[in-house]
Amino acid sequence: MSGAATSETAGVEWRLAAPLGLTYLAFFAAPLLILLVMSFSVDDNLGGFSLAAWAKFWGDPFYRGVVWDTLRLGLVTVAMTTLFAYPIALLFIASGPGLQRLLLFIVLLPLLTSVVIRTFAWIAILSREGVLNQALLALGLTTAPLNLLQTELGLVIALMQIEMPLMLLPLITVMQQIDPSLSDASRALGGSKWRTFRKVILPLSLPGWIAGATLVFASATTAFISQTVIGGARLVYLPTLIWQQAMVVYNWPFAAVASVTLLVAVLAGVSLFAMLGRFARTTA
């Protein structure tokens, strides 16, 4: 009786997933396959077979540099968001419901504004005549305005604000599930606050950090608008390169090579974080 019901629902289940599955097949898997084939083609009509685009991309130190810069941008952004997210997450779980709501609102704010608006807002803040430089000059902390736009530092600062919710939300979710008496136990056993964080809170929050780091890395390496608007023409990352090659130079096989490279690079970064997490959990 119940067995019949189960097999009946099992029969229905794949049909429920079918619309989304077919959509993915048609609009995700198939284009990806075309992209892959395109990267081995001679022209944008998918004609012929050639390794020319791959050889040109990987043979040129400039393009290899772009790949490395993109990966580094992702890693640095992950590192910086981590550095700032942990204190905020600790403050969040230690606060009362009122302060928690306020913190959550501030954290979510970047998600509630358009990516174009917040990116241009960062230009207003970071430019030579911008808010930050004026403040630094007025405080006498610097004699000449700092060059922040079109630098990796400025880009990382902007990305950090934009990507912060992606790091904080999973981190807070996991940290809220940690039994508060665990830190009490650590303290009562003679553990300092720092030891309690390092030995108890940090290892137990790793699943949240892995989720956050994965999202931030994938998002920072592919943040086309921030990269082009704040990075400008001087800093070239893979998304910008793909856009230039596909829409300006009209070299589709070459753009396909860059796209596949970006995809693999992001996947590699994501698996790196998963591995790091597993390693830390077995040795902590």
Q: Which residues bind another protein (CB under 8 A)?
A: 179, 181-182, 184-192, 195, 199-200, 203-204, 281, 284
To another protein, the closest distance from the beta carbon of 192 in angstroms equals 6
Closest approach of another protein to the CB of residue 260, in Å: 38
CB of 60 or CB of 179, closer to another protein: 179
- CB proximity list for 7: less than 8 A, separation 6 or greater: none
What's the CA gap between 167 and 109, in Å, rounded? Answer: 14
**Rg, Å, the chain Cα set:** 23
Q: What is the DSSP letter of 129?
A: T
Q: Which is nearer to another protein, 191 or 232 (CB)?
A: 191
Residues 209/127, Cβ–Cβ less than 8 Å: no
Closest distance between another protein and the C-beta of residue 38, in Å?
47
Instruction: Give 101 or 198: the residue with its C-beta nearer to another protein.
Output: 198
210 neighbors 274 (Cβ within 8 angstroms): yes
Q: What is the largest CA-CA distance in the chain?
A: 82
Rounded to an integer, what distance in angstroms lies between the CA atom of residue 182 and that of residue 257?
50
Least distance in angstroms from the C-beta of 176 to another protein: 15
Ramachandran area for residue 140 (φ above 0: left; ψ -120 to 50: alpha; else beta): left
Least distance to another protein from the beta carbon of 78, Å? 22
Q: How near is the Cβ of 40 to another protein at its closest, in Å?
A: 47
DSSP 48: S
Q: Rank residues 54 and 197 by Cβ distance to another protein and give the closer one.
A: 197
Q: Which CB sits closer to another protein, 64 or 199?
A: 199
Shorter beta-carbon distance to another protein: residue 145 or 191: 191
Q: Residue 99's Cα: distance from chain center in Å?
A: 27
Q: Which is nearer to another protein, 56 or 187 (CB)?
A: 187
Do 215 and 74 touch, CB atoms closer than 8 A?
A: no
Q: 105-128 in b/e burial notation, b at 16+ Cβ within 10 A? A: eebeebeeeeeeebbeebbebbbe
Quote the least distance from Cβ 211 to another protein, whole Å: 17
Q: What does each C-alpha distance from 58 to 1, 51, 270 come to in angstroms?
A: 62, 11, 22
